[in-house]
Amino acid sequence: MGSAKSKQRFARLIVSLFVGTMLAVSIESAWAQPSPARPWTRSTDTADSNIFEPALARTADGVLHVVWLRKNGSNRDFVHTAIGEDGKVAGTPMTVLEAWASLNNPDLIVTKDGGLRLFFGGQRTTDVKDPHSHGSLYSVTAPASGAAWTLEKGAHAQSNAVTASPVGAGILPDGTSVAAWAVSFALQAHIGLDPKMEDLKLQTTCCAYQPDIAVDAISGEAVLGWFSNAKKEQGLFTQTIAPTLGERQFVPGSATPDRDSSLSIDQRMAITARIGAPGVYVAYGAGYPTFKTVNLWRHGSADPVVIAQAAGARHVNISAGPEGRLWVMWQRDRRAYATRSNRAATRFGAIVEVAPPAGKAESGIYKVKGEGSLGPLDLFLACQSVNELATYHTQVFPPLSLAASPAKMIAEDGGTVTFAVSDVGDPVEGATITVDGKNLATDAEGKAAMTVPKGSKPGARAAKAQKDGYTDASTKVTLAPKPPPAKATQ
């Protein structure tokens, strides 16, 4: 997609939210500046299944690693693609596993030594002598470059039914891995790689789906999240599973009040920890028979926060951002939406709406995923058109805010205008403000000052704030003519 298509991408401003309140704001709000998302790039083959979901993990060098499923006749492959910080594919895709009889959606983690481990359920052959033929939990590993993948010997769990489930995974502070899966009458998890250790058996009624794991950056607790459609126990749930087993918690509003009806999430549970900050968070749609709002809930808290009124929203997801921030994303009416929080994860900023790749989503969007740990959001949409079903990738940038004080002054008198640049209330240092032919740089408080000389020409002065990794912000300062003196009263 070229620059002309980029101009079709647009954002809608949403009033910022203070987390802890039950505020809801409408998506149908004033138009903002077009989002400068990068061109769309296809990340998978064009013969995807609408249940395929890629695994994402970013290594310390800033490279985003994407592992995706590929059809290979009646068999399945895993393929690895690397994406640089600039959003461009780095190198050529590499086959991780080839021609397995069965593979399900995997999950990818960065190991304590900085390498990669891909957990998955699958079955290589039907030969009982094959150690990878039993449908258990398996893994492949690679260095941080993702250049060469090694299949680990044998299984990492006791269950032989993992192949029927997507796998969610995480890593504890000491480097121990945790993985979970859900099949038939069992939601299970395994801590570590030793198959001799017992699998954890959690929900034992039919049925649990789409598990994933987040590990709190401060407490080190691993929290499992999943969707349940068990009788009178429908909705989303979370539970601490390491280092000790906690109580199961219901995610408020994820089912009807009697918990007898809910909407499937249709992709891996949207659960994440924050980077360098406490808390595990779930993003989800609330409402039945269609989602009415997009909500955020912190594991262990009482009430959710409504991020947006979004009737018909689907495929809500979440990603950790830098400095404790959170990205929340979803799709509605074949459009993608994303919003990012402040550093404290107590307030959300403008919602950016992004059009899918032109001509690729006429039949729908089936998955929404994102990774935003460096700042911009690497956004993935599984799109279906008449001729193909494939996952596409682009980048979305959070918007800056720019304010001028005072915003109006008398031109003849002159004075000082102070500009403030912020990111959801947090000051932005090092932004460039262009105004009246000058470039100003913001300080640690996100501020920069401009002197307006006495006797300046009246009129509006446009100001623009820019910084790499952000959407520009604009405002204006009005230099008004001096009003005539008031007439003396008789």
Q: In the structure encoding, which two tokens stand for residue 15, read together?
A: 């009033």
Write out the residue range of the structural domain in which residue 386 sits: 3-396
- pLDDT confidence tier of residue 31, bands split at 50, 70 and 90: very low
Q: Is residue 488 part of a domain?
A: no
- pLDDT confidence tier of residue 489, bands split at 50, 70 and 90: low
- pLDDT confidence tier of residue 62, bands split at 50, 70 and 90: very high
% of the chain exceeding 70 in pLDDT: 92
pLDDT tens-digit profile of 415-449?
Answer: 999 999 999 999 999 999 999 999 999 999 999 99
Boundary-marking domain end, from 350, 380, 396: 396
Instruction: Mark whether 280 and 407 lie in a shared domain.
Output: no
pLDDT tens-digit profile of 451-468?
Answer: 999 999 999 999 999 999
pLDDT tens-digit profile of 348-360?
Answer: 998 999 999 999 9
pLDDT tens-digit profile of 63-76?
Answer: 999 999 999 999 99
Q: Is residue 58 part of a domain?
A: yes
- pLDDT confidence tier of residue 167, bands split at 50, 70 and 90: very high
Instruction: Mark whether 357 and 444 lie in a shared domain.
Output: no
* pLDDT value for 487: 77
Across 394-421, average pLDDT: 96
Q: What is the C-alpha separation between 282 and 236, in angstroms, rounded?
A: 9
Q: What pairs with residue 78 in β-bridges? A: 69, 97
Instruction: Mark whether 179 and 295 lie in a shared domain.
Output: yes
pLDDT over threshold 70, residue 330: yes
CATH of the domain at 193: 2.130.10.150
Which segment of 162-166, 210-214, 483-487 scores lowest on mean pLDDT?
Answer: 483-487
Boundary-marking domain end, from 348, 368, 396: 396
As for how many domains the chain has, the answer is: 2
Instruction: Mark whether 312 and 423 lie in a shared domain.
Output: no
Place of tokens 């009416």: 333
- pLDDT confidence tier of residue 490, bands split at 50, 70 and 90: low
Instruction: Mark whether 413 and 366 lie in a shared domain.
Output: no
The residues, ordered by sequence, that sit 6+ positions from 74 with a Cβ below 8 Å of its Cβ are: 101
Q: Is residue 430 part of a domain?
A: yes
Q: In the structure encoding, which two tokens stand for residue 114, read together?
A: 């900085």
Instruction: Mark whether 22 and 68 lie in a shared domain.
Output: yes
Q: Is residue 276 part of a domain?
A: yes
Q: Is residue 489 part of a domain?
A: no
* pLDDT value for 5: 33
Instruction: Mark whether 428 and 379 lie in a shared domain.
Output: no
Instruction: Mark whether 428 and 328 lie in a shared domain.
Output: no
pLDDT over threshold 60, residue 58: yes
CATH of the domain at 417: 2.60.40.10
* pLDDT value for 37: 54
Q: Is residue 340 part of a domain?
A: yes
Which segment of 188-192, 219-223, 321-325, 345-349 scores lowest on mean pLDDT?
Answer: 345-349
pLDDT tens-digit profile of 74-112?
Answer: 999 999 999 999 999 999 999 999 999 999 999 999 999
Residue 330 falls in which region: left (phi positive, over 0), alpha (psi -120 to 50) or beta: beta
Boundary-marking domain end, from 396, 427, 451: 396
Higher pLDDT, 7 or 226: 226
pLDDT tens-digit profile of 264-310?
Answer: 999 999 999 999 999 999 999 999 999 999 999 999 999 999 999 99
- pLDDT confidence tier of residue 19, bands split at 50, 70 and 90: very low
Q: Supply the mean pLDDT for the chain.
A: 91
* pLDDT value for 22: 35
Query: Which candidate, 180, 135, 182, places its Cα nearest to that of 154?
Result: 135
Instruction: Mark whether 324 and 472 lie in a shared domain.
Output: no
Instruction: Mark whether 178 and 210 lie in a shared domain.
Output: yes
Q: Is residue 471 part of a domain?
A: yes
Instruction: Mark whether 367 and 218 lie in a shared domain.
Output: yes
* pLDDT value for 437: 93
pTM: 0.91
Instruction: Mark whether 366 and 405 lie in a shared domain.
Output: no
* pLDDT value for 20: 35
% of the chain exceeding 90 in pLDDT: 88
Q: Is residue 486 part of a domain?
A: no
